[in-house]
Amino acid sequence: MVGFLQTTVLALISSGFVLALPNPISYPALKPDTLPGIAGATQLTYENEAVAGIDILEQWYGSNGLWNNEWWNSANIITMLADFQDFSPGQVSGYTSTVFPYTFNNAPSWGAFTGFINQYYDDELWWCLAWIKVFDVTGTQMYLDMASSIFEDAKNAWGQPSCGGLYWEKGNTAVNAIENSLYLTAAAKLANRKPSTPSGGYYFNEAIKAYTWFVNSGLINKQFLINDGLTAGCVNNGNTPWSYNQGAILGGLTELTWSTGDPTYTNLAVNIANATITLLTDSNGILTDACGTCQGDSGQFKGVFARNIQFMYNRADGLTDATKAQFKTFLQNNADALWLKDQTGNYLGPIWDGPYVTADVNSQSSALDLLVAAAGVSTASG
Ligand SMILES: *[C@@H]1O[C@H](CO)[C@@H](O)[C@H](O)[C@H]1NC(C)=O
C-alpha cells in the first residue's frame, strides 16, 4: 500500500491541466419500485445502483488516471469496472473505452511507477490482476502483456524470504498473506491466458509453486480463514483475517481447477468462502471487517471478497446447488443491506450493515464491487 506522494506535488501536477475527462456515464433513473428491501430485487436493480455509484466515483477521477490519487485502490476500481463490463457491456463500455486506456497510459507517472512497479508486491499484483481482467473484457493484447511484465517483477523476488514466498514490501522482511494470495491468483490466471508463452507451463509452474507454499505455510488456520501474515519464525501470526485475505485467493484457486481438472483447488476455495460467510459476518449475515469505521484502505477490503464470490458463482467448476445458493443469497443480502443502510444519495459507506456515516473513494469502490457482484449473480426475476 502506498500513499506517500506529497499533496503539494499533486496539486501542482493537476493544476497544470485542463483535461477532458470521459463523460459521466448516463444511466436510467432509479426506479423506486425496483429498489431492494422489497422482495424480488432484480439484476437491473443492482445494475442501476452500480451505475449510480460509478457516477459518484467519477468526481474523484483525476487527470493522472487515478481516483483521488489512490494507487492500489485505483487498480481495484479498474477491476470492478471490467467485472461490470463482463456481463453488462451496454451499461459501462462507453465509459471504460476511455478510462481503461487513459489510466493505463497516465497512472504510472504519478509516482514514477514505470510499468506499474513500485516497492510493494501487493500493489503491483493488484495492477496485474486489473489488466488481466481488462484484457478479458476487451481482448486487447497490450493489457495482458502489461500484466505479464508486472508479474515478472514479483516472480524475480519469489523465494527471497527465509519463510519462502514473497515479501510484502521491498526492503522489509514481513511476509503477509495478501501478496502471496495475489501472486497465486495472478500466476493461475496468466497460465490460462498464456499457456505456452514465454514457454510451456511458465505461469502454471509458478501457480503450483505458490499454491504448494501457501497451503504449507500455516497461513490458512483450522477454521479455513487466512490470517494476515507469518511471524519472523515463519508461523501464522494470528493477526486479523481481513476479508480481502480470504477473497484474493479464490479466483486463483478457481482457475487452477480449470487448468488441471482437479477439484482440490475449488474445494479449498469453497471452504474459505464458507468460513468467511459464516465467521466474518454479523448477526444479519453482512460482511464485517474488524476495522471500526473502516476509513481509508481498510474500507477497500470487503469488495475483493464479494467480487471473487461472484466469480466463483459464475465460473467455478463443480459447485453444488447449495453452495451456489449460499453465494447468491450472501451477495444479494449484503447488497440490499448496503443500499438501505449504508447509502446516502448514491454515496456508499464502508459499514455495509449501516449506519451510513461517510464515503470515500475506497468505500465507494468496495461497495461497487458488491453491487456489481450482486448483479452478476441475479437475473431479470431476482
Ligand atoms: C461452513 O463453516 C461453518 C463455520 O466454520 C461450519 O460450521 C460449516 O460446517 C461449514 N459448512 C460447510 C458446508 O462446510
The pLDDT tens digits for 211-264 are: 999 999 999 999 999 999 999 999 999 999 999 999 999 999 999 999 999 999
The vertex-185 CA angle with 231 and 78, nearest 5°, equals: 110
Share of the chain above pLDDT 90, in %: 84
What does the alpha-carbon distance between residue 166 and residue 183 come to, in Å, rounded to a whole number? 8
Q: Are strands 343-344 and 347-348 parallel, antiparallel or unpaired?
A: antiparallel
The reported pTM is: 0.92
Report CA-CA distances (Å) from 216 to 138, 168, 202, 260. 37, 18, 22, 20
What does the alpha-carbon distance between residue 218 and residue 337 come to, in Å, rounded to a whole number? 34
Distance of CA 252 from the midpoint of ligand 1 (Å): 22
Cell numbers linked to 65: 488516471
Spatial contact of 354 and 305, defined as CB atoms under 8 Å apart: no
Beta-carbon contacts of 108 under 8 Å, excluding residues fewer than 6 positions away, are 114, 115, 116
Q: Give the largest CA-CA distance in the chain.
A: 58
Tell me the residue type at 375. Answer: A
Identify the residue whose cell numbers are 456481463. Answer: 87
What does the alpha-carbon distance between residue 66 and residue 75 come to, in Å, rounded to a whole number? 9
Residue-by-residue DSSP string for 8-35:
HHHHHHHHT----PPPPPP-PPPPGGG-
Cis? peptide before 198, omega within 30° of 0: yes
Which protein residue has the closest C-alpha to ligand 1 atom 1? Answer: 274
| Beta-bridge mates of residue 61 | 67
Spatial contact of 374 and 327, defined as CB atoms under 8 Å apart: no
Q: Is the CB of 63 under 6 A from ligand 1?
A: no
Distance of CA 279 from the midpoint of ligand 1 (Å): 9
Q: Output the pLDDT for position 91.
A: 85
Distance of CA 340 from the midpoint of ligand 1 (Å): 28
pLDDT, tens only, 49-91: 999 999 999 999 999 999 999 999 999 999 999 999 998 888 8
Q: Output the pLDDT for position 220.
A: 98
Q: Output the pLDDT for position 40.
A: 55
The vertex-339 CA angle with 241 and 136, nearest 5°, equals: 65
Element (H, E) at 376: helix 361-377
What does the alpha-carbon distance between residue 194 and residue 196 come to, in Å, rounded to a whole number? 6
What does the alpha-carbon distance between residue 306 and residue 287 come to, in Å, rounded to a whole number? 9
Spatial contact of 137 and 179, defined as CB atoms under 8 Å apart: no
Which protein residue has the closest C-alpha to ligand 1 atom 2? Answer: 275
What does the alpha-carbon distance between residue 45 and residue 377 come to, in Å, rounded to a whole number? 12
Q: Output the pLDDT for position 38.
A: 44
Distance of CA 288 from the midpoint of ligand 1 (Å): 18
Q: Is the CB of 278 under 6 A from ligand 1?
A: yes
What does the alpha-carbon distance between residue 77 and residue 368 come to, in Å, rounded to a whole number? 9
Q: Output the pLDDT for position 32.
A: 39
Distance of CA 184 from the midpoint of ligand 1 (Å): 25
The best mutation among 271, 278, 324, 326 to test binding of ligand 1, ranked by most ligand atoms within 8 Å of the C-beta, falls on 278
Taken in order of first residue, the domains within the chain and their CATH numbers are: 2-377 (1.50.10.20)
Q: Is the CB of 377 under 6 A from ligand 1?
A: no
Cis? peptide before 161, omega within 30° of 0: no
Distance of CA 275 from the midpoint of ligand 1 (Å): 6
Q: Which of 122, 62, 94 is nearest to 301 (CA)?
A: 122
Q: Output the pLDDT for position 90.
A: 84
Q: Which atom of ligand 1 is nearest to the CA of 323?
A: 13
Distance of CA 175 from the midpoint of ligand 1 (Å): 28
Q: Which of 362, 340, 344 is nearest to 352 (CA)?
A: 340
The parts of the chain modelled with pLDDT lower than 70 are 1-40
The vertex-53 CA angle with 360 and 106, nearest 5°, equals: 70
First to last CA, the chain: 37
Q: Is the CB of 274 under 6 A from ligand 1?
A: yes
Report CA-CA distances (Å) from 215 to 43, 212, 218, 246, 277. 36, 6, 7, 13, 21
